[in-house]
Amino acid sequence: MHRHAKERIIGFQPHAQSVQPWHFGATEDGPDNVKKRICLWLRGLPQLTRTGTLDGSTARPEIHEATPSEDRAADRARFFPGIAAAMAEQWGGYATEEIRRSA
């Protein structure tokens, strides 16, 4: 995030973790094998653990280096199935347990 944007956010806190989609990918031609830094602000959640087998050397820069176009915003806003699955698997039970404890 640009420093001027950070200055405008009251009580801005730095991200707790940043991940790449390829951290959660298993195939070079899969949808997760791309470069796009995703920052996570983890309030009450543990850090996400990588589930993929890729090392990033084959990650495609299609989103990171996207040129201006009508579809650029939608392409950059797209989420990735590997990260979504890891969040559901790793945080789903954690969140359910926290709800039980506080009830």
Query: Any idea where the domains of the chain sit in the sequence?
Result: 12-102
Residue 80 has pLDDT above 90, yes or no: yes
Strand intervals (E) in 3-103: 17-19, 38-40
Residue 31 has pLDDT above 80, yes or no: yes
| 3-state class (DSSP) for residue 60 | strand
CB-facing half-sphere around the CA of 35: CA atoms within 13 A: 11
List 38's β-bridge partners, or say none: 19
- Give the pLDDT of residue 15: 93
pTM here? Answer: 0.84
